[in-house]
A and B are shown apart, each in its own frame.
Chain A
Amino acid sequence: MKRTQRAKRTKRTKPAQRILMKGNVAICEGAITAGCQAYYGYPITPQNEIPAYLAKRMVELGRVFLQAESELAAINMVFGSAVAGARAMTSSSSPGISLKQEGISYLAGCELPAVIVNVQRGGPGLGNISGSQGDYFQATRGGGHGDYKNIVLTPYSVQEMYDLTILAFDLADKYRNPVIVLADGVLGQMLEPVTPSTISHQPIAISKDWALDGCKGREPRKIRSLLMAEGALEEHNWKLNEKYSKIKKNEVRYETYNLMDAEIVLVAFGIAARVGKGAMNIARGKGYKVGLIRPITLWPFPEKIISDTAERLHSITQSLNHLTTFLVVEMNLGQMLEDVKLAVSGKVPVEFYGRPGGGLVTQEEILEKIKQISK
């Protein structure tokens, strides 16, 4: 199992001070620690703390902050700063992220690094401003036009809002690919202590020998996704596919809890995992053998741990004749559910509990579902 970046960073020499902050602010501090040089945003609830906080901090640090005229403009400003070789970020919430999809597709096509934060709210349409997880498909399937992939990181605590934002910048540069931090409105507003990184995260030394900064002393460069020559586009897409395979191989991240003897395995991400973890602990107290798999990367999806677990659950059922099952919990109508089902591949049942935009899942509801399944 690949540990989270945070886990790695806990091996520090002197204990760092813990600071109480809101999830949205943790994203800002993560971006600043990661050496984000430019931020472009447009107001939308529930992420308004991000542009408000960065408007001050980025300017204090002599970095770029700009309130764009729309999300379309903001993502294209990110595109421009990425073209110039800078670490750039934008943030928004669901309706605004829909507007950014064209730009994200261009970032993917042009192989430009960028960080896009989605503090999800309920949809469809204007929906409402309460936290939700309805944008899983949009984030993990590409979202815009064309055959591309975003790296999708999903935090479940304020600490992870901070840590995964830092990681997002590193991965974006490493793979020259857009990275989405898929958070939600609940986490955005949550207050928790954060241990800031004691490691310097200034832009890692990746030479951006493709960036446009004027052709002094070198041949001119161009950045484009238009490939009209015979076979050129297909070749480009195969090349992207090779990169995606590498990401799948190297960057899967997840955490597991109580998996050893679990017979009911929850699979949940983000805030649903947070609630699910609480439900798991209560259920354990009541004697239910419940475990939890929490994907941290939604793309690449941690399919192996799920299929391995499915294998194990299947053999428990075979040998002990115990009921075993997965229980996917999401704050939507069942989106990650499809990926879990693919990984489980029919070996054991996959149950689902979810509430769509406007609803929050609770520990009691999950517990009820666990009891129901166990009957």
Chain B
Amino acid sequence: MKKIFSRPESLKETQHLYCPGCGHGIIHRIIAEVADELNIREKTIGIAPVGCAVFAYDYWNFDVTEAAHGRPPAVATGIKRVLPNRIVFTYQGDGDLAAIGTAEIIHAANRGEKITVIFVNNAAYGMTGGQMAPTTLIGQKTLTTPFGRNAERDGYPLKICELLSSLEGVVFLERTGVNSPENVLKTKKAIKKAFQNQIGNSGFSLVEVLSQCPVIWRMGPVESCKWIEKVMVKTFPLGVFKDTNRHE
């Protein structure tokens, strides 16, 4: 009998600690599938964030290091510069990448570091229990925006793809979701491209993935998927923001 579906070799056989309906697990698997398909597992070095995905090094079956909160792009730079033939990627939440690590992501992108960034936007801080993230929507209630995010006081949702699209060092930017089978497939395509760009040595690639966080959003898993489709994409439209295959 032919085996047509199995656990990717790049994903360890262990239980994830994510909440039911969480998007992180899906994105982990996509990365693992892509690593297998591109045959890069043995030369990949991942950087786990501080956030719910902090234990990613227990889930992927390749080399993974921790980094301080927000610093993965700097750590990735330090690895890639001394090991230019390895595949180096960061995996970061919206607090990690878009709040405390804003300087690091902008400058890594602007230098055109030949790395891949997987940016998980769940519009909240998951790990610390559901505070406002830079990506929290206007009106969205969190622990620290109990009356809803107020632009006057809290500013506006930070749009990373839009922000980075003006930087010359960036070759690929796409925002996708993991809230439907169709979007999962699109996310996989985007992530694959982001890694292929690195294999081709063309520059900085980032995929922003809108990811459901049912527990913090106080919704069921299905409702969370719908919320992304109906509400979140209005602030964070899906699509390709930049794609310049400079080396071609």
Chain B contacts of A224 at CB under 8 A? 48, 57, 65-66
A-side interface residues toward B, CB under 8 Å? 37-38, 40, 64, 66, 68-70, 72-74, 76-86, 88, 102-103, 106, 110, 212-217, 220-226
Q: Point out the residues of chain A lying under 8 angstroms from B44, CB to CB.
A: 214
Counting chain B CB atoms within 10 Å of each CB, the highest count among A66, A70, A73 belongs to: A73
Cβ–Cβ < 8 Å partners of B41 in chain A: 215
Known A-B contacts A40-B78, A77-B75, A80-B75; the reply to A213 vs B83 at CB < 8 A is: yes
Would A69 and B104 count as touching, CB distance under 8 A?
yes
Interface string of B83-97 (1 = CB under 8 A from A): 100110000000000
Check if A216 sits within 8 Å of B43, measured CB to CB: yes
A88 to B77, CA, bound (A): 13
With A76-B75, A212-B45 as contacts: A66 and B68 at CB distance below 8 Å: no
Q: Is B163 an interface residue (CB 8 A)?
A: no
Taking the nearest CB of chain A, how far is it from the CB of B31, in angstroms? Answer: 14
What residues of chain A lie closer than 8 Å to B42, measured between beta carbons?
214-217
- Tell me if A80 and B77 are in contact (CB < 8 A): yes
Of the candidates B60, B79, B106, which one forms a contact with A220 in the assembled complex, judged by CB atoms under 8 Å apart?
A: B60
The answer to whether B66 touches A84 (Cβ under 8 A) is no
Is B124 an interface residue when CB atoms closer than 8 A count as contact? no
Known: A38-B78, A73-B74. 17 other contacts (CB 8 A): A76-B75, A76-B104, A77-B74, A77-B75, A77-B81, A79-B75, A80-B80, A82-B78, A83-B45, A86-B82, A102-B68, A212-B64, A214-B83, A216-B43, A217-B42, A220-B61, A222-B63
* Distance (whole angstroms) from the CB of B166 to the closest CB of chain A: 17
In the complex, what residue of chain A is closest to B84 when comparing beta carbons? A64
Instruction: How many A-B residue pairs have C-beta atoms within 8 angstroms? Tell me.
Output: 133
Say yes or no for B193: interface residue by CB 8 A criterion: no
Complex contacts, A103 vs chain B, CB 8 Å: 68, 71
* B242 CB–A CB distance under 8 Å: no
User: Given A76-B78, A80-B79, are A110 and B86 also a contact pair (CB < 8 Å)?
Assistant: no
Closest to A225 in B: B66
Shortest beta-carbon distance, B39 to chain A, in Å? 11
Sample 5 A-B pairs with CB under 8 A, ordered by A number.
A69-B107, A212-B64, A215-B63, A220-B60, A221-B63
Assembly CA distance A221 to B71 (angstroms): 20
CB-based closest 3 A-B pairs: A80-B78, A76-B74, A77-B78
CB of A80 within 8 A of CB of B68, answer no
Given contacts A110-B66, A215-B62, contact A83 B71 (CB under 8 A): no
Q: How far is the CB of A39 from chain B (nearest CB, A)?
A: 10
Residues in B with CB closer than 8 Å to A37 are: 82
Question: In whole angstroms, what is the CA distance A72 to B103 when docked?
Answer: 10
B81 CB → nearest A CB, Å: 5
The answer, among B63, B76, B81, for a CB contact under 8 Å with A214, is B63
B107 partner residues in chain A, CB cutoff 8 A = 68-69, 73
- In the bound complex, do residue B64 and residue A220 qualify as a contact, i.e. CB atoms below 8 Å apart? yes
Complex CA gap A357/B219 in Å reads 57
Could you tell me if B79 and A83 are in contact, using CB atoms closer than 8 angstroms? yes
| Contacts A81-B79, A222-B57 given; does A72 touch B74 at CB 8 Å | yes
Q: Is the CB of A226 within 8 A of B54?
A: yes
Asked if B138 lies at the interface with its beta carbon under 8 angstroms from chain A, I say no
With A70-B103, A80-B74 as given contacts, are A64 and B43 in contact (CB-CB < 8 Å)? no
Residue in chain A with minimal CB distance to B42: A216
Candidate in B60, B65, B83 with the most chain A CB atoms within 10 angstroms: B65
